[in-house]
Amino acid sequence: MGILSGKRGLIFGALDDRSLAWHVAERCMAEGASIVLTNTLVGIELGSIGCLAKERGIPLIACDATKLDELSSLFVRAQECLGGKIDFILHAVAQSMNMRRHKAYTGMNYHYYAQTLDISAMSLHKLLQVSMELDALSEGGSVVALSYIGSERYCAGYNDMGDAKALLESIACHFGAEYGMKKGVRVNIVSQSPTMTKAGSEWSDLDYWYRYTDKLSPLGNATADDCANVCVALFSDLMRSVTMQVIYNDGGFGRTILTPELAEAFSV
């Protein structure tokens, strides 16, 4: 018996075994949940999630999270696979072609910018709207999306993803209020430390940024497993009154401006 025993979950964004979503998926299963995985067809073909899902006997359904018709069919099929309404959803979806193509924030391609906002933020609104229309989430269900502190502070190189994360957090607040009043559904954000994943590696400065945040965080960077633990807690009934929040799983980074170690490094 785990804290998600008997619960049914839908997990977006597991690409390979480094993905935050894969760590969350494994932790959910260890806590007794049944899950369905989803990613784009390209993600399934290019990543190793197909093999991982097959090895573990987890249903995997292709869906582009920006497409309403694909989301509708996903929610119908996921409920069939799981045998009932969905209790929790993880949104771990992001992509920026401006970052991938090394476009500066001050010289960005606006077509890519629109794609970044659609994939990384509006997709949360779309999946919430579709699930509400289909009444696919159970009473008191829980939705978690992953963000980064670059949503609220300037972070060199984070580019248009900072704007996307600000929108994502705003959607969690506003849709969270509506879904909470309508069906007791919770919508929260986990703001995670830098973590070495495929999406993370598209940020060219991640390596040195990872070491910097690790030094500046009183507890060090939060790992992918730490992220999974926080998500599982939010999916569980233990957090049934927590909604519309941004929860910082960052080792204290967001509340720290100087540590003795860093002060020492700059002293002459």
Ligand X SMILES: NC(=O)c1ccc[n+]([C@@H]2O[C@H](COP(=O)([O-])OP(=O)(O)OC[C@H]3O[C@@H](n4cnc5c(N)ncnc54)[C@H](O)[C@@H]3O)[C@@H](O)[C@H]2O)c1
Residues in contact with 131: Cβ distance below 8 Å, sequence separation at least 6, in sequence order: 75, 86, 89, 137
The alpha carbons of the chain give a radius of gyration, in whole angstroms, of 18
CB 31 within 8 A of CB 62: no
CB neighbour list of residue 172: distance below 8 Å, 6 or more residues apart: 124, 143, 145, 187, 188, 189, 244, 246
Which lies closer to ligand X via its Cβ, residue 17 or residue 183?
Answer: 17
**What is the closest distance, in whole angstroms, from the C-beta atom of residue 159 to ligand X in the complex?**
12
Which one of the spans 1-9, 127-135, 180-188, 195-203 is the region binding ligand X (CB under 6 A)? 195-203
Q: Quick check: 75 and 12 in contact, CB under 8 A? A: no
Smallest distance, Å, CB 224 to ligand X? 8
**In angstroms, rounded to a whole number, what is the distance separating the alpha carbons of residues 143 and 72?**
17
Rule CB under 6 A: say whether 9 interacts with ligand X: no
Kindly state whether residue 198 participates in binding ligand X, applying the rule CB under 6 A: yes
Contact with ligand X (CB under 6 A) among 89, 93, 127, 222: 93
Contact letters for ligand X, residues 19-38 (x by CB under 6 A):
xxx-----------------
**Do β-strands 137-147 and 186-192 pair in parallel, antiparallel, or remain unpaired?**
parallel
Q: Which residue do the tokens 């924030």 mark?
A: 105
By rule CB under 6 A, what count of residues binds ligand X? 27
- Least distance (Å) from ligand X to the CB of residue 165? 7
Considering the complex, state which of residue 43 and residue 141 has its C-beta at the smaller distance from ligand X: 43
Minimum CB separation from ligand X for residue 264, in Å? 27
> If binding is defined by CB under 6 A, does position 197 make contact with ligand X?
yes
Give, as ranges, the residues between 117 and 136 that touch ligand X (CB under 6 A). Answer: 119
Place of tokens 């929040």: 245
CA distances from 18 to 22, 46, 224 (A): 7, 14, 8
Give residue 141's identity as a one-letter amino acid code: G
Sign, CA dihedral 202-111-16-229, equals positive
Q: Of 26, 37, 39, 86, which one interacts with ligand X (CB under 6 A)?
A: 39
Among 26, 31, 64, 87, which residue sits at the site for ligand X (rule: CB under 6 A)? 64
Question: For residues 82 and 92, which CB has a smaller minimum distance to ligand X in the complex?
Answer: 92
Among 89, 121, 146, 187, binds ligand X (CB under 6 A): 146
Residues near ligand X, by CB under 6 A: 12-13, 15, 19-21, 39-40, 43, 64-66, 92-95, 119, 146-148, 192, 194-195, 197-200
